[in-house]
Structure 1
Amino acid sequence: MNDRSGGEGRTAGGGGSGGKPRSRRRRAAVVTAWATAALIAVGGAGLGYVWFQLDGNLRGVDIDAQLYGRDRPRDIGDGSMDILVLGSDSRSGANSSYGRDDGAARADTAMIVHVNEGHRSATVVSIPRDTLVDRPACTDSDGGRIPPADGVMFNSAYEVGGPACAVGTVERLSGIRMDHYLEIDFTGFKKLVDELGGVEITTTEAIHDRDSRLDLPAGTHTLDGEQSLALVRTRKSVGDGSDLGRIQLQQTFVKAFIAQVKDAGLLTDPVRLFGVANTATKAVTTDSDLASVSKLTGFARSLSGIGPSDVQMVTLPVGYDPYDPNRVVPIDRDARQVWSALRRDEPVPASALRNSAAGRSGADGVVSATPGAASPAG
């Protein structure tokens, strides 16, 4: 990144990753790719009688068409998959209770999900929303050209150019082609958790966060949708109050969510199965290749062997920007190790995470998932 003078990189989006954040914007949640899709796939052929209704729920974005002609990374084609999963912070419609609708939805939470060649394990790389990156030129959904920009916040890509621009920015950052895209917003996340029957987590200390509206004593809790959303938006009351600590809470919740999906018993309850599938298909936006029940079901079946203990959770290695402690910048050498591991279809080595500010947020261990779900790696 060669433009460190300020401008867009210093103002887009709001609250920072460290120091004293200048904005009180609330954050959105994310559901992992396989967990969301698996809710639809469980029961397989049992969904045939509602096929067309569920198909009508799905929304697809033709990302390949919007990125056509751009300089995209080569598709490795070894059977592995890379999926960009975004949590949108839109305040419009049913999401209005979470803040003022300023007309700009942002990619509040971002995870790259790498599924290995045999589809038996996965690595999830969280990208802090305040990471300063170089954004490539994009085409928005109306065909308008978005010029490139250097040293801007990562979440500005979605804000100015939508899903395709977010995908293009991730590909520029990682050098890895995204095979699929999944997005969920506040309301869809809550409804999905509620339909599932809640998610069980354990807190080692009380969490009281006025901004996210979370009030939990220490102990084991089955969180409903509203509480789950509050947990993954919590920041100031956990660890050092940074966005990096919030990411650790999200990663732990994702593992608990996957465990809950696998233990939900949907195969023996057709009525509940339909309710979950109906909610899930309404909750997500996908790339056009996944925007049908048949394709999404096939996709989910290919991930059905992955459990919480098979998932490595890491955060992109970052350090605080010396020009602005509310922003972070990738540690280039360590980030290259992360992306190289994904391209080689290998776990991310611990050496890549040793220097990252993410491991010093103080939020590790505050929340734990179902027994057997390994803790996030940082």
Structure 2
Amino acid sequence: MTRSTRLFIILGVVLALIGGAAYAAVQVTKDTVNTAVPQVDLFGPSEEPSASPSPSASPTPPAGADIKGPLNMLILGRDTREEQKGSPAHGDVVMILHIDKDLTSAYLTSLPRDLLVDIPAFTPSRFRGERSKLTHALTYGARLPGGKYDIALGFQLLAKTVSKYTGIARFDAGAVISFNGYIRLINAIGGVDIYVDQKVVSIHRRPDGVHRATCRGCEHGYSGPRMTYNVGTRHMNGWQALDYARQRYITGSDYARQRHQRQLIKAMFTKLLSGDVLTRPGRFDEVLSELGQTFTFDGRGRKPMEFVYALRNLRPANLTLVGLPGSGVFSGGAYRGERLNGDQTAYFAALRADKLDAWAKSHPKLLNLR
């Protein structure tokens, strides 16, 4: 179990910054937002010409007013394994955010880290291409001579791989989220309220939050009392939210873990837009500071505040969470990876056509409602 699965809770803050109610609160500090969020070229040279902005009207419209939907954003949860110097980069959480033509509703889904995909050849890292797990796309793309890694190059190959699998020709924005400051970030917004949809027993934490002792030969490698999250709505602080979102030795295994990550994202989005995080300057600056240490953004030439304005009408109630079911692939008795069970074909076809509302009505069992 790698640590990057814990971090996708931070996407909630990202959604808040690019979401609707955030605009009114942060427009007076737009320069601060644009500089606080690191911006990196994650997609590389464009394979198609960029659309020219519409001619400016009089008076000049706000920056981002000419951004049109639908939009697709690729989000990566990055496992840097920072405690291991020289360790390769890993992409353990991959999510796709689709925002409709009117820029008022969105759909968020996950791709399994072990999804078996065709990773295309990638000249910058001298990778020849192969069929492997999705998580390896970041590693193969980022790997450079001399044991060095370039995460931006890795993201390029990951994006190409996801595009090939989903048929999404072009992503309009991308983000990389790392570990730094995740517990502080959740605590900075005062914790989150989340509905625990099944009993989850932690393998990592004791009820008091202390890490369980490592134990050779013990179940999952740990010993001692275990934190338990019972069914029902629960307020969680940073370590609890982190711990809850990382558990996979539960009913539904990694697919349940993905669902809990998405639930937590929406819980953070809701908290950010309903509390005083965005209206109290000191509190907002604290969140921005933590965000700057965990989040890298590529708006393909657009600054973060342009997306803040364009998505100013997006609300938590209009963010739909989608779980695409799958199962393990075995060969010769050995585990090879994961494959989705076929529902993804219709889902991504509807996404490309911007008809996910109709798809959702006909696939209610694949929606995470709480």
Where do 5+ consecutive residues of structure 1 fail to align?
1-23, 365-373
Matched, 1:329 2:339: yes
Select which of 207, 230, 234 maps to 2:247: 234
Give the distance between the partners of 1:167 and 1:58, measured in 2 at CA: 21
Local SS of the residue matching 1:35:
helix
- What is the distance in 2 between the residues matched to 1:215 and 1:43? 37
CA apart distance, 1:280: 1.9
CA separation in 2, counterparts of 1:73 and 1:252? Answer: 37
Contact 2:90 2:135 in 1 (8 A): yes
The answer to whether residue 313 in structure 2 is matched with residue 305 in structure 1 is yes
Task: Let me know the Cα RMSD of the aligned residues.
Answer: 3.1
Q: Which letter maps to 1:147?
A: R
SS at match of 1:134: strand
Is the contact made by 1:36 and 1:280 (CA closer than 8 Å) also made in structure 2? no
Conserved in 2, the CA contact under 8 Å of 1:202 and 1:221? yes
Does 2:70 match 1:91?
Answer: no
Partners of 2:159 and 2:335 in 1: CA distance:
26
Give the counterpart of 1:196 among 186, 189, 199.
189
Structure 1 length normalisation: TM-score?
A: 0.73
2:285 corresponds to which residue? 274
7, 25, 32: which is aligned to 2:2?
Answer: 25
**8 Å contact 1:85–1:182 — kept in the other structure?**
yes
- Offset of residue 59 of structure 1: 2.7
Stretches of structure 2 lacking an aligned partner (at least 5 in a row): 52-66, 142-153, 206-210, 212-225
Most deviating of 156-165 and 198-207: 198-207
The one-letter code of the counterpart of 2:355 is E
2:107 is aligned, of 123, 130, 140, to 123
Distance 1:230 1:147, change over 3 A: same
Alpha carbons 2:43, 2:155 under 8 Å: kept: no
- Per-residue CA deviation, residues 42-77 of structure 1 (Å, 9 max, x unaligned), is 6133315xx36x544433332343x555xx8999x9
SS at match of 2:194: strand
Residue type of the alignment partner of 1:330: L
Provide the secondary structure at the position in 1 that maps to 2:72: strand
Alpha-carbon distance, 1:296 to partner: 0.5
Q: Is the 8 A contact 2:272 2:278 kept in 1?
A: no
Matches within 5 A, 1:1-378: 24-28=1-5, 29-30=7-8, 31-32=11-12, 33-38=14-19, 41=23, 43-47=25-29, 51=31, 55-65=34-44, 67-68=45-46, 79-92=69-82, 96=83, 103-139=87-123, 143-150=124-131, 152-161=132-141, 162-176=154-168, 177-203=170-196, 206-211=199-204, 215-218=227-230, 219-236=232-249, 238-240=250-252, 242-287=253-298, 289=300, 295-323=303-331, 324-325=334-335, 327-332=337-342, 334-347=343-356, 348-349=359-360, 375=369
Distance 1:375 1:127 in 2: 19
1: CA distance, partners of 2:35 / 2:4 = 29
Secondary structure of the 1:182 match is strand
Q: AA paired with 1:83?
A: M
Structure 2 counterpart of 1:233, one-letter code:
R
Question: Deviation digits for residues 264-315 of structure 1, max 9, x if unmatched?
Answer: 2234311112212222233211126368xxx202202322322232122223
Deviation, 1:175, is: 1.2
TM-score where L is the length of structure 2: 0.74
1:58 corresponds to which letter in structure 2?
Answer: V
Once residues 36 and 155 of structure 1 are traced to their aligned partners in structure 2, the CA distance between those partners, rounded to angstroms, is 27
Determine the C-alpha separation between the residues in 1 that align with 2:111 and 2:260. 14
Task: Give a deviation string over 1:108-161, Cα, whole Å, max 9, x none.
Answer: 11110000010111111210111100011225xxx43322112x0011111221
What secondary structure, in the 3-state scheme, does the structure 1 residue paired with 2:114 have?
coil
**1:239 counterpart SS class:** coil
Counterpart CA distance in 1 for 2:50 and 2:117 is 21
**Distance in 1 between residues matched to 2:309 and 2:98, nearest whole Å:** 16
Structure-2 change in CA distance of 1:181 and 1:217 (3 Å): closer
Task: Tell me if the contact between 1:128 and 1:316 (Cα under 8 Å) persists in the aligned partners.
Answer: no
Q: Does the Cα contact within 8 Å between 1:37 and 1:296 map onto a contact in 2?
A: yes
Give the corresponding residue for 1:18: none
1:41–1:296 Cα contact (<8 Å) kept:
no
How far apart are residue 221 of structure 1 and its match?
2.9
Contact 2:201–2:227 (8 Å) recurs in 1: yes
- Give SS of 1:266's match: coil
